């Protein structure tokens, strides 16, 4: 009788162990976003809000995509295209928010290499980016004055990879 | 007349007969000792065979065998080959390889007279050599900005990772029941603990032949089998009495 009990106990332990699989949902990692912080061009150590900051992805040079939610008015996290080696964004500020004609759009292109990194069974592979550099399309009135790449490797979204001074 | 005379001649013959000289012992002591069969038992795992037929993502077989060493101890081994394709959320891979498990079974079941069943616990040391092929995969990203319909699929030929191996120990809980003479039906549950795992840095081992699924952040794996085995009896041996019989005074 004791043996039967022991067998049932062990069998139920094994079954309960296999029943719940904790690795069905990906919680261990993610493809990082490119984090940009905005700084004051006159005081390069101070964060500066961008009035009415709006960032959109741009496809083929003329197809703006949906607005990417900001982290704050002085920071954005931008998704990079995995299948390509460059992604273009429109970053706009509007110093007079009530007047939509005064929106100043700057076009910024990031170039990078894509690395695939295995995370776990449920997450599979995520992309990391390396050799990051940027190109600002010059126009008559760029509100972005200076761009500084802090980290050419984008492996997490915890700290800024790029500083933009305005 | 002649016939009768021959019959009469037979009547004059003497026949000797014996009657019982000793009295009948109505309670004879049973002197027939049941000798238990010892030998090699071998067979196949039915579950792997059935899965091969039912699941087109799996082919595999397992040969099982044991050799009886003593009243309760058996040397036991399993030898198998498996190929399994698994579809996860973001990737699809195939693992293919062979394994061998060597160890002991200890029968905890006290058989009744003439029975030769077992409820056994056991342990194995197992080794597997295999390859893993990443058939297809997508890049996981929570931000679905550029790919709103799903994850970004990577366009690539299957990537094969060769020369993978794993070593683990296994705890076995099982039973074997005699169906007919020398034919046994068995089942066992197995809990494996991975000791070493040689894997690719790019794509780690997610499944190991014989060990089954490798779980994230855990070294444990579970498995089972349903076996049909044949006992090839080599010799018979009586069970040694547990205690010496007390001699009765005459």
pLDDT digits (tens, 9 = 90+) for B202-239: 999 999 999 999 988 889 999 999 999 999 999 988 87
Using CB atoms, which residue from A10, A21, A81 is nearest to B173? A10
Pairing of strands A162-165, A146-149: antiparallel
**Closest Cα of chain B to A42: distance in Å?**
34
Find the mean pLDDT for residues B157-179: 94
Pairing of strands A162-165, A34-39: parallel
Considering the entire predicted model, what is its pTM?
Answer: 0.77
Interface mutation vs chain B, best among A4, A23, A55, A84, most B CBs within 10 Å: A23
**Residue A48 phi, psi (nearest 5):** -135, 130
**Closest Cα of chain A to B138: distance in Å?**
7
Tens digits of residue pLDDT in B54-67:
999 999 999 999 99
SS3 A69: coil
Give me chain B's average pLDDT, please: 87
Using CB atoms, which residue from B137, B202, B222 is nearest to A124? B137
Interface mutation vs chain A, best among B86, B88, B135, B139, most A CBs within 10 Å: B139
CB contact under 8 A, A118 and B202: yes
CB contact under 8 A, A31 and B215: no
**Cα–Cα distance for residue pair A109/A133, rounded to 1 Å:** 8
pLDDT at residue A19 in the model: 52
Tens digits of residue pLDDT in B76-106:
999 999 999 999 888 999 999 999 999 999 9
Q: Residue A115: which residues within 8 A CB-CB, separation 6 or more?
A: A127, A128, A129, A130
Using CB atoms, which residue from A79, A118, A126 is nearest to B145? A79
Q: Which has the closest alpha carbon to B192: B216, B217, B166?
A: B166
Tens digits of residue pLDDT in B106-119:
999 988 887 889 99
Which residues from chain A sit within 8 angstroms of residue B143, using beta carbons? 31, 33, 77, 79
CB contact under 8 A, A7 and B119: yes
CB contact under 8 A, B141 and A11: no
Roughly how many angstroms between the first and final C-alpha of chain B, as a whole number?
64
Nearest residue of B to residue A68, measured between CA atoms:
B145
Q: Are A64 and A58 in contact (CB under 8 A)?
A: yes
Find the mean pLDDT for residues A110-123: 92
**Closest Cα of chain B to A115: distance in Å?**
10
CA atoms within 13 A on the CB side of A30: 14
Q: Which residue has the higher pLDDT, B84 or A26?
A: B84
Which residues from chain A sit within 8 angstroms of residue B138, using beta carbons? 124-125
ipTM associated with this complex = 0.79
For chain A positions 103-142, those within 8 Å of chain B (CB to CB) are 116, 118-127
pLDDT at residue A20 in the model: 53
E strands, chain A, in order: 34-39, 54-59, 63-68, 75-78, 86-94, 103-120, 124-137, 146-149, 162-165
Q: Which residue has the higher pLDDT, A5 or B52?
A: B52
**Residue A137 phi, psi (nearest 5):** -75, 120
Q: Residue A21: which residues within 8 A CB-CB, separation 6 or more?
A: B215
pLDDT at residue A31 in the model: 92
Q: Which has the closest alpha carbon to A38: A78, A4, A75?
A: A75
Find the mean pLDDT for residues B32-48: 89
CB contact under 8 A, B140 and A124: yes
* A94: β partners: A103
Q: Which has the closest alpha carbon to A34: A73, A84, A96, A89?
A: A89
pLDDT-derived band at B27 (thresholds 50, 70, 90) equals: confident
**Cα–Cα distance for residue pair A44/B99, rounded to 1 Å:** 62
CB contact under 8 A, B173 and A11: yes
pLDDT-derived band at A2 (thresholds 50, 70, 90) equals: low
Using CB atoms, which residue from A23, A28, A82 is nearest to B152? A82
Which residues from chain A sit within 8 angstroms of residue B220, using beta carbons? 17
């Amino acid at each position: 009788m004791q043996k039967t009990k022991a067998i049932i106990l062990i069998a139920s332990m094994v079954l309960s162990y296999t029943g719940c699989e904790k690795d069905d949902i990906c919680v261990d990692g993610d493809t990082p976003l490119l984090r940009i912080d905005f700084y004051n061009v006159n005081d390069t150590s101070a964060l500066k809000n961008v009035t009415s900051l709006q960032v959109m992805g741009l496809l083929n040079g003329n197809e703006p995509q949906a607005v990417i939610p900001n982290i704050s008015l002085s920071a954005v996290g931008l998704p990079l295209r995995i299948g390509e080696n460059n992604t273009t964004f429109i970053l706009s500020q509007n110093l007079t928010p009530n007047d939509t004609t005064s929106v100043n759009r700057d076009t910024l292109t990031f170039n990078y290499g894509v690395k695939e990194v295995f995370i776990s069974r449920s997450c599979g592979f995520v992309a990391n980016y390396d050799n990051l550099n940027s190109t600002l399309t010059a126009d008559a009135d760029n509100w972005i004055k200076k761009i500084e790449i802090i980290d050419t490797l984008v492996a997490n979204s915890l700290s800024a990879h790029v500083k933009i001074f305005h | 007349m002649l016939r009768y005379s021959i019959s009469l001649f037979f009547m004059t013959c003497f026949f000797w007969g014996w009657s019982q000289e000793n009295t009948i012992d109505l309670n004879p002591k049973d002197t027939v000792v049941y000798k238990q069969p010892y030998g090699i038992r071998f067979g196949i795992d039915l579950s792997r065979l059935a899965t091969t037929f039912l699941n087109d993502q799996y082919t595999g077989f397992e040969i099982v065998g044991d050799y009886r060493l003593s009243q309760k101890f058996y040397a036991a081994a399993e030898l198998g080959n498996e190929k399994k394709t698994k579809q996860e959320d973001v990737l699809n891979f195939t693992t293919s390889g062979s394994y061998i498990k060597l160890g002991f079974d200890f029968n905890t079941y006290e058989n009744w007279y003439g029975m030769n069943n077992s409820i056994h616990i056991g342990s194995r040391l197992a080794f597997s050599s295999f390859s893993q092929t990443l058939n297809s995969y997508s890049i996981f990203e929570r931000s679905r900005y550029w790919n709103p319909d799903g994850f970004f699929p990577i366009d690539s030929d299957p990537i094969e990772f060769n020369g993978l191996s794993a070593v683990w120990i296994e705890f076995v809980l099982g039973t074997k029941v005699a169906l007919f003479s020398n034919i046994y039906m068995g089942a066992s549950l197995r809990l494996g603990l991975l000791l070493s795992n040689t894997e690719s840095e790019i794509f780690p081992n997610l499944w190991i032949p014989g060990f089954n699924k490798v779980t994230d952040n855990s070294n444990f794996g579970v498995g089972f089998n349903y076996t049909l085995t044949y006992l090839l009896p080599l010799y018979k041996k009586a069970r040694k009495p547990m205690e010496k019989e007390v001699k009765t005074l005459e």
